[in-house]
Structure 1
Amino acid sequence: MTITIVDVALATSLLLLLYGLLRKSFGPSPLDAIPGPPSKSWLMGNLPEMFDFDSWKFHEELAAKYGRVAKVNSFLGTKNLYISDPLALYHIIVKDQHIFEKHDDDFEIFSLIFGPGLLSVKGDRHRKQRKILNPVFSTSHLRNMVPTFYGIAKQLRGVIASKIKDGPLEVEMMLWLTHTALELVGQAGLGRSFDLLHEGAVSPYAEAIKCLGPVFFEYPILLFVGPSLMKIGTPKFRRFIVERTPHWLVQRIRHMIDTMQQTSEDVFYSSSSALRKGNAAFQEEAEGKDILSILLRANNKASSKERLADEEVIAQLTTLMFAAMDTTSTAVSRILHLLAQYPELQEKLRKELSEAQADSDLTYDELDRLPYLDAICRETSRYYCTVPTVGRAAAEDAVLPLSSPITDVNGKEMREIFVPKGTRITVAIMAANRSKEIWGEDAEEWKPQRWLAPLPESVSQAHLPGVYSNMMTFLGGSRACIGFKFAELEIKVILAVLLRAFRFSLSEKEIFWRMGMIVTPSVKGSTRFEPELYLKVEAVDD
């Protein structure tokens, strides 16, 4: 048998991983007393239950059976925490966020995928990037983007209208919503069109982004082995190994990352060249109102100490396109699927939109003042958050206080938890958003009408550290989603255009929502990575 250099690299990385995990696995842990589900195996713990497209029940039972804090077993017996307690989340997300950052391995993976952008850096480098980027997403800039958003949404309307010109038809909406989201972030974010809103349009970039999350979620071993592999040799050596690894999964990931990186580089160098040449689109305030133009102008004016390097700006583009496309298309598809199930609510929203719009497009402020549209968006963000969990890790020994005590496995009350250095923590966004203690007895129901009346006092008293409507959907602190208002505006404009033109109902294909880093729709029983959402669409009579 011939042993190749690939075999040696894989064996070395696995040995390093095993050594590190074994050191943590033997002997008692301070987390042993915290209640949690039994381990399914010493090797994998509860990971197969957590990382599964159909792991909804496991996550729901974690919160229902074990409460706001649970212990979860990981590789080789290591102990992790699953937390939705508001006070503990405040310390993790805001007060002690310098201690509870993403795990170093996660930074490695994000850096590999996106480059040195907001998702991949920490400390002063993250602060500097955030300082440059925060003004880019201001309300004043978003107001200027509304006409662009409407123009693209109307293109989508035209595509759908052409499909149903002969009568109601089952349409695969996810494809067109994905293309719309990419076109939105392309024109409003990058100042360029991907020309995707026509029949036969193909985008390797859109395909790469759509499949990225599902691939890593279905093969979570990549998240653990990948960082060890990235420590072997030089980048050039690792690239050499990857290109010669004859495995479809390795090559698919390589293609996705290369496609995203090359697209961002092409856009950046084209735009920065225009800036250096004094192109009016960048120099005049009346032009160049896309996010990249604003970012390049702001970066050009920044001091040398605060200015971002080219590779950092390129990484922001990759990060922006991934985050804005995948989450927005999923959010709109979820709302349309829900409205197809509740036709009376769909009609109520359509009536509000029709009465408000008259013959002209709504402005940013007019969209913001539509109560039922806002209620639909907020309730869907709460109950069906597109990112159910995020990961953190303790960079040092720490103590997490709890807003309400828990009872340990020995029957003793715990008001705080000692968290050893290196402990991985799952920030349970979905569990916090659906907590009955916070949202009331109907918390586990999708009820848009809850936002049309005063919320229970327990919502504000919980002090969840989120930046949006007392929920954790967009996180909080310095790692809060920087573009959540951009996403909210996209969603509202698309709904405002589509619902006035079309009526949506369920198709014969049953839709299953896959758990993942980002939740995505699929046809039940399908083995495709690509998200799919089939709905029956018919024109609305004028």
Structure 2
Amino acid sequence: MSSIIGLRSVGSLLNVVVPLSLTSALGSYVVTNVVPGFWPVQSLIASFVWLYSVQFTLVFIYGVLIYPHLVSPLRHLPEPKDNAFLMGQFWNLLRKPDTELTSKWVNEIPNEGLVRFRMSFNSETVLVTNPAALKEVLVTKNYDWEKPGIARAILSVLLGNGILIAEGDEHKRQRKLLSPAFSFRHVKDLYPTFWGKAKQCTEAITTAINASQLPGKDSPQFQMINEWASLCTLDIIGIAGMGHDFNAILDPENELSRTYSAVFSQSGKTKVIVAILNRIKRTPLRYIIPTENVVSRAAKVVRRISQQLIEEKKVNIAKGGPTDLDILSIAMESGGFSDDNLADQLMTFLAAGHETTANALTLAVYSLCKKPELQSRLRDEIRSQLPPLSEDVGITSTQIDHLPYLNAICNETLRLLSPVPATGRISVRDTTILGTFIPKGTQIVIPSAAINQSKHLWGDDAAEFNPDRWMGPGRANTGGAESNYAFMSFIHGPRSCIGKDFSRAEFACVMAAWFGRFEMRFKDPAYKLIPASGSVVLRPRGGLGVKITQIDGW
């Protein structure tokens, strides 16, 4: 979240600098050329500097010192007490994990659904903290809000202008056209595909750890489980999303795998720079400032591959080939997308569709390595209900759905370690939340991870990994929480994750295959999860190395 908020500060600065520069340039031209006798300074440059300095000083005093304290309609909202004079919570958010601070604010600051916190130069952000406020923002007045422009600039570099970036009526149109690809029945039909790739990945890991037992090799082999998760989910989205097998599991060095690996390893600072460069591309400054970078180069690769898949699908359709049920086929058959729009959608689902689930898998392994005693219980359930991987037998959605402890572990991972910890929005018009006036241009943060760990919603053990909260009558889908807005990992409403059922299904299938066969332990017994900085998703810095042991009999 700090990356989004920090970027907002960059965007706010640009919003001030540009108009002041224009008015200063116009004013200096007028006073030196139109009415030269009126103005004591005859130099165009000196006039510009003087006018800019005066305007900037007045704007700074009003915007930083007067407005947030004496004028803002948000000034009466509760807020953290440890604000820096000019920088608010900026330094705190740089020093501490975002979820630590937002969870503290949600749990400890008395509020009725909204908390204000200030950032650099006292710019205001509103934290949405309870179900009633969340419902209003996400459902009742959903289209009063959009993603902040600079956040969209970051995401659009690699994701194109697909459904994740679209806003307003365009988002409604795209979601309607793509919804059949994520319908309940369609996702259920994809379970054999998910299971097939989960088996292939498990066999590949088995081969890797067995190879490590050869002379001269470490035994057993340590594996970077985040890398296996990424390869597996990339193959799954390839088949289920595009009708194309990338074979990333068998060929980790293929072009697409290497491309995403390079992109997702970028630092937070690099992503900020990329966002700024992406904005420059749309201005005349692109002729002066080079905008080519590792992410833009990767985006070209992903778009080229997406366009190739579209052309292949067109050829297959022209030849009267069978009608597929993947996302691309359904999008093409809708007739509502141009080739460029289709490429944007593929870019979105390729990146977002595999990386978030890969991180969920990584975080589930992390949770079970922290509590290894839970693995035996999970393995017993899996082995008692599913055919061994050594048998060439498929599975159905019913078999996976009837594994209550497996699904409890998946749900608890998504609750406690939400892959997307927070989402930013900005008001596109004057609006209200719970009766509080919210001016146009106000940024809010929906702190999914903090809501998921709210003691008010989940009880005193909200910060503990406890799959049993999802066990028992009436708890499988709620975890015992009274409001569905207590679980925010996929958001809610018209902007909720369109692929949430798809993601849940592949998550469960891969977990079943992995923990049906393996026991996993931390490579470093003292391992502590440190989130990668500047990442939109919760990703362990440096990946997650684990010691994998095959348990015989499956």
Instruction: Call closer, same or farther: CA 1:393–1:339 in 2, change over 3 Å.
Output: same
Residue ranges of structure 2 left out of the alignment (5+ in a row): 1-12, 22-55, 214-218
Q: 2:224 aligns with which of 145, 169, 172?
A: 172
Query: How far 1:196 moved relative to its partner?
Result: 1.7
Q: What one-letter code is carried by the residue in structure 1 that aligns with 2:402?
A: R
**Is structure 2 residue 66 aligned with structure 1 residue 27?**
yes
CA contact (8 A) 1:216 1:223 kept: no
Query: How far 1:216 moved relative to its partner?
Result: 7.0
CA contact (8 A) 1:330 1:519 kept: yes
**Is structure 2 residue 403 aligned with structure 1 residue 370?**
yes
| 2-structure distance, mates of 1:214, 1:66 | 35
| 2-structure distance, mates of 1:241, 1:279 | 50
Q: 1:194 aligns with which of 246, 269, 272?
A: 246
Count of aligned pairs between the two proteins: 481
Matched with 2:455 is 436
Matched with 1:285 is none
| 1-structure distance, mates of 2:299, 2:252 | 21
Matched with 2:383 is 354
CA contact (8 A) 2:209 2:548 kept: yes
**Is structure 2 residue 304 aligned with structure 1 residue 265?**
no
Matched with 2:501 is 485
Residue ranges of structure 1 left out of the alignment (5+ in a row): 1-10, 283-287, 301-306, 402-415, 465-469, 524-531
**Is structure 2 residue 309 aligned with structure 1 residue 295?**
no
Partner SS, residue 409 of structure 2: helix
Matched with 1:528 is none
Q: What one-letter code is carried by the residue in structure 2 that aligns with 1:281?
A: P
Indicate the percent of aligned positions where both proteins have the same amino acid.
25
Query: How far 1:270 moved relative to its partner?
Result: 2.2
Partner SS, residue 80 of structure 1: strand
Instruction: Call closer, same or farther: CA 1:355–1:508 in 2, change over 3 Å.
Output: same
Query: How far 1:339 moved relative to its partner?
Result: 1.4
What aligned pairs does 1:313-324 form with structure 2 within 5 A after superposition? 313-324=342-353
| 1-structure distance, mates of 2:19, 2:227 | 39
Matched with 2:468 is 449
| 2-structure distance, mates of 1:264, 1:224 | 22
**Is structure 2 residue 487 aligned with structure 1 residue 471?**
yes
Q: 1:425 aligns with which of 425, 441, 444?
A: 444
Partner SS, residue 178 of structure 1: helix
Matched with 2:133 is 88
| 1-structure distance, mates of 2:447, 2:424 | 9
Q: What one-letter code is carried by the residue in structure 1 that aligns with 2:431?
A: A
Query: How far 1:106 moved relative to its partner?
Result: 3.4
Q: What one-letter code is carried by the residue in structure 1 that aligns with 2:394?
A: D
| 1-structure distance, mates of 2:137, 2:448 | 13
Instruction: Call closer, same or farther: CA 1:450–1:211 in 2, change over 3 Å.
Output: farther
More displaced, 47-56 or 486-495?
47-56
Query: How far 1:393 moved relative to its partner?
Result: 1.0
Instruction: Call closer, same or farther: CA 1:489–1:458 in 2, change over 3 Å.
Output: closer
Greater Rg by CA:
2
Structure with more of its chain in strand, by fraction: 1
Matched with 2:40 is none
**Is structure 2 residue 309 aligned with structure 1 residue 280?**
no
Partner SS, residue 536 of structure 1: strand
Matched with 2:551 is 540
Q: What one-letter code is carried by the residue in structure 2 that aligns with 1:540?
A: I
Matched with 2:515 is 499
| 1-structure distance, mates of 2:479, 2:200 | 43
| 2-structure distance, mates of 1:257, 1:436 | 41
Matched with 2:124 is 79
Calculate the aligned-residue CA RMSD, in Å.
2.9
Instruction: Call closer, same or farther: CA 1:18–1:320 in 2, change over 3 Å.
Output: farther
Per the normalisation by structure 1, the TM-score is 0.81
| 1-structure distance, mates of 2:152, 2:523 | 41
CA contact (8 A) 1:217 1:517 kept: no
Query: How far 1:41 moved relative to its partner?
Result: 6.4
Partner SS, residue 116 of structure 1: coil
Matched with 2:199 is 154
**Is structure 2 residue 389 aligned with structure 1 residue 338?**
no
Per the normalisation by structure 2, the TM-score is 0.79
**Is structure 2 residue 167 aligned with structure 1 residue 122?**
yes
CA contact (8 A) 1:50 1:59 kept: no
| 2-structure distance, mates of 1:87, 1:540 | 47
Partner SS, residue 283 of structure 2: coil
